[in-house]
Amino acid sequence: MLKLLKNHFGYDSFRPLQREIIDTVLAGQDALVLMPTGGGKSLCFQLPALVLPGITLVVSPLIALMKDQVDALCANGISAAFINSSLTAKQQRDVMERAGSGDLKILYLAPERLSSSGFSDFLDTLNISLLAIDEAHCISEWGHDFRPEYRNLHTLREKFSNAPVIALTATATPRVQEDIIDQLKITDTPPFVSSFNRENLHYTVRSKFNAFSQLTELLQSQKEKSAIIYCFSRKDTERTAIELSHAGLKALPYHAGLSKDLRIQTQEKFIRDEAPIIVATIAFGMGIDKPDVRLVVHMDIPKTVEGYYQETGRAGRDGLPSECILFYSYADRRKQEYFINHISNPNEKKLAINKLDNIVDYCQSDACRRTYLLDYFGENRSEPTCDACDNCVTPDVEHSDATEISKKILSAVLRTGERFGVAHICDVLRGSNKKRILELGHNKLSVHGIAQSVPMTTLREYLQALKKLGFLEQNTGDYPTLRVSSKGKQALQSDNPILLPVSNAQKTKSVRASESKLEYDVEAFDKLRAIRKEIADEQDVPPFIIFGDRTLHEMAYYFPSTLDALSNIFGVGTRKLESFGEEFLKCIAAHVSENQLEEKPIPTRASPRTSNKPSRSSATLDETKSLFDQKLTVEEMAQQRGLTQGTIIQHIEKLLYTNKISNIDHIKPAEPQFKEIQKAFKATKFATLTSIHKHLKEKYTYDELRLVRLFL
């Protein structure tokens, strides 16, 4: 399994729990898998599918995600396809024929497909070895994303009772887990629960004051990085996208009110790195498998903690540092309650209110954000702080004496009757003559206008700091009104100074989204990124399908000079090495030469080498050279050495690159074949092996293409 992992996915080792889950599936047992987004759930059924005798059926509600996953599997040399409403009738028949002939190892289906006329008969013709239920929380009425069509999955389970079931989800409370187990009759093993902790994500809740200014500042600091901005309504989505565009930021709106074609077009631009910022309602993202989203911002409070966790989970799926920022105002709760009050079912309404209470608690909490999220999903965390949320990371500020302004604020709260919120208190202190203030007679209070010289932003920061330190408290009830605590009253009567961290309260220390564990060459990374984009456009796939950012970071740090060295880079499997390797090596070699850099040794990774890779020892190359010098053909050398022809060609490549051989004419393919392949290389804009293979309609093998390329 480790060899298959390296060969197809380019990884040298399993992530936590993956090995145990795969062993369980291969033993024919059921499994419920809870892993955070980006934790490697898909691999738990994709890898076993390669060695199981029949086909693996994957039920997924996410049409866009199906396409991305199938594109990624095909790029990794795994035969996969999907059937959903995006295909024509003929395309669906073609996929069904491939599945019936045994050509496919993995077939993705939408849950609605299972109840369509005649489809059950088609499934009867397949040799199904494994059933994978993705987004399994959709089966539960207690989940945040219940889908009635998922309730029919028990019939699929009964129909193929001999095939093990693996149910996978990133968001399931203990009650939802029980429901999944009950519905799918998963009895063999206890759930595999990976930590819900996304260590690379930095969580921040900011006061929703001048939120748009804060947003533009955030986005400008991360230009060209992918970001998703979530808004409450379609109108907010449109307005925010337009205002960001006016601010010089490339942003597109996405919501259910747009035409289907425009939504598809927008999504494609985002995953292909052509539109870095998407402003969306929660309609966007469920089908997005883009691993390099560096920033997820919520401009409004989400409906549930589950929804918030899932949406923030779209950041940093590649494991690199990313930020999740939520702009919070208690008034936003009223927006959500308006819709909750229209729910007719009393149980559903009560559940929705409870879930809203939980997300409000998260926003108002002074405790570690990470600990709150983990506790919500039933995971205990012993560490008191996480060093990666706004409540745990101390801002880079000094506490200063704020006694005078603090006492003015506390007095204003008392004088106005302790029944108003932050905005009204600030208006009174700054001497506003708004209609509401005049009606209440607050313009006649001694505290009216006593902080007129203090900017509104700074005044709000003081109020939030006093609240956080316990001088002010929030009243119980539907509205976020303030009262002075006993600690605040003592401070008013005391001569002791009040020290507040107010100089930079809004700008919490955050991770640099571009950070990597390696101090890679940024210029080299940008060049490799451009090559990746060209190849992706040629292949008509998103750039991350070619290679992820972490892979390019390693290339831009170690500067590998040979295919063998490149094969040791994270995420470089055999198929991608063959298809794209030389193009990236050329780019690296040119950059190294221009800047007089040197290749760095790549640390040995704990994984066996795949058998069709060239050996690191010079002895095996010498054996191939000896046979080559005897003028043997590639086929004859492979037979004598007991190796594949592909391995022999790779040996010859290395011998040629190191000038140990020169004349290779005796292994040249037949002239008609040579000319046809040569013509294809010249005609193709970006001549990777995969593009040539497609251009020639898969007429020749990769080994035959590689051999001709040696002469070009």
In which band, very low, low, confident or very high, does the pLDDT at 552 lie, cut at 50, 70 and 90? very high
Q: Is the pLDDT of residue 512 over 60?
A: no
Cα 497 to its chain centre, rounded Å, is 47
Domains (range + CATH), the chain: 2-193 (3.40.50.300), 201-376 (3.40.50.300), 400-500 (1.10.10.10), 523-710 (1.10.150.80)
d(CA 320, CA 603): 20
382: left (phi over 0), alpha (psi -120 to 50) or beta: alpha
CB 558 within 8 A of CB 520: no
pLDDT confidence band for 642 (50 / 70 / 90): confident
Q: Which two tokens stand for residue 442?
A: 């607050």
Q: To which residue do tokens 């831009």 refer?
A: 556
DSSP labels, 527-552:
HHHHHHHHHHHHHTS-HHHH--HHHH
Instruction: For 291-309, write each residue's pLDDT tens digit.
Output: 899 999 999 999 999 889 9
pTM of the model: 0.68
Contacts 24+ apart (CB under 8 A), 117-122: 120/159, 122/96
Q: Considering only 185-189, 424-428, 598-602, which range has the smallest mean pLDDT?
A: 185-189
pLDDT per residue over 274-284, tens digit each? 999 999 987 66
Q: In angstroms, rounded to a whole number, what is the distance separating the alpha carbons of residues 149 and 655?
A: 58
CA-CA distances (angstroms) from residue 325 to 37, 458, 529? 17, 20, 27
Query: What's the pLDDT tens digit per position in 327-336?
Result: 988 778 888 8
Angle between helices 574-595 and 522-539 (to 10 degrees): 140
* pLDDT category of residue 510 using cuts at 50, 70 and 90: very low
Whether 246 has a pLDDT exceeding 60, the answer reads yes
